[in-house]
Structure 1
Amino acid sequence: MKQNFTVRQGALDGVEVFLSVAQHRSFRRAAAELGVTPSAVSQTVRVLEARIGAALFIRTTRSVGLTDAGERFLSHAKPAFDELVAASEVARGLGQRPTGLLRLSVPRAVVPILLEPLIASFCQAYPEVEVEIATSKELIDLAAEGFDAGIRLGQFVDADMVAIPLTPPFHLVVVGSPAYFAARSRPMHTDDLRQHACLRWRRSSGAIALWSFNDKGHAIEIAVSGPFIANDFSTMLGAAVEGMGLAQLPEPMAAEGLRAGKLVHVLGPFAPVIPGVFLYYPGRRQMTPKLRAFIDHVKSRAADQSKVISAPGLPEST
């Protein structure tokens, strides 16, 4: 069957012209208001009448009036058209200034350290923007799930995303509690981990993550073993503090425990550097004002390194 590729005339064609004529009771004044010729207005009204199947105006040489059908059409068309104009203004406002709902997908542990101060200052600066935070340890399709942006560790951000750093790079560190080391010697080399209970972390894919190290400039990964598996860094941190075993964590996340003496740092010379935490969003989609405002706000905060993470609580990876 042959397809028709022409655009069908819609029910709204000619309505604005009709409303202008009905308001002014004049084709000439309506033409002046719309910036067209009186003949164009007359032709548009004739097409509208033909499509509706009824005369809408009574025309004389001196005046223009509405028929019964025209009065009835006006009573329904004007409020509907006003609603359409109002809807257009709302949409135009969303496209021109920061307003509406900004949805962010973030790991749970990033909220109190990064997002609470950042969101508080952003909401104060942009009161017309509502911010929704959805915590998830999984990497999701931002566009498909209706999110404007996400926050993750840099190594887990896809290459086709635009990524903005929220923190400087930092180390992955191996830590254990003093109680754990009370009965065990500290590992001096990565090979020594075979004799230690290592707390492991399961990715959202279901795989157990390897531990990463830097051995004299060479990146290596080691499969460790131990009595405990978790799917987020926060749980692993708590298990390490309780003396269940060694954990490999982002350095800022372990910083408070190290300062308080609840954790001990080992294998320092082998600690790898990871990129840090990033805000990311799809580069191919049109930038909305609310997202642009948030990105600019993030950049202004990130420029002041004293306000960027220097305390524990970096996000769980995925």
Structure 2
Amino acid sequence: MRFGMTIRLLGITLLASIASAQLAPAPEGWPNFWYKGHVTNKATFEYNPTNEFIFPSIFHAGEYLDDPLGEWYLYYAPHENPGGISLVYSDSLEGPWKEYSNNPVIANKWDSYYSVPHVSSPDASWNSDAGRMFLYFHGDNTQTRWAESSNGVDFRYGGVAVNNQMSGSNTTESSYARVFAHPNPASKFNYAMFYMANEKDNRRKIRLAESVDGRKWTVDSDYVVQPGGPEGTDVSGANYWTWNGQAGKGEDVGRVAAPDIASSGGNTYLFYESGDRLGATIAWAKMQKHFQPH
């Protein structure tokens, strides 16, 4: 099925039906993703406190974990209270996906560490220095935390990665983080993070934080992305991806949001949240074959 509008994202294009301002066309040769279906099922999932699921994060469990539940893990969460970091797993990026039986794997209350209205926006990545998965999440919106795990299901609390104070007194939110290996080989840092920072003017921007170990972070003083034109007053959910040597960053536009990308078996897949802000679900799309990297 082909939808009617093109959304630019990190050197790719996603065809989807949204109602937002027209964007400039993507450069020639940028790949297209085609909608294939939903990952989450609101009618059947046991953990569904708010009837909305956001911010998918794909993790290749079979590459890093011993005896995983499936080859691929996908983390997601409701956003409204109480939130809760949840997991589905599959042996294929095309599904079928099975809901983990004991969701949420991270709740909005954790022993003496914190008690917040909600936790959400999970982002899972392998920390090669620690030899463990690090999962970043916000809770509440004023700070992004992390937890560590050797199996992707049982977590040990890590701490606060970034908070409002780290980017100045004007900041009111520090959330929706994506973490990746630092793309600059000359950098003294090993890890980088894009995250959303809201400010007192209620304009959400993308900031950069950097880290040597994935635990202690330094926030850059400059914005990475500021909203303007088609984005309106807010940008959020930035991610990083390279395509044929080109690198860029993408942010939420309209109501397909929070993209995460994975490749397997010569195919490349896009996972994202789809739907209205408080009723979203997790969907997936597949790159057109003639755009696949050689």
TM-score (norm 2): 0.25
TM-score (norm 1): 0.23
Say which structure is richer in strand: 2
User: Which has more radius of gyration?
Assistant: 1
Higher relative contact order at CA 8 Å, sep ≥6: structure 1 or structure 2? Answer: 1
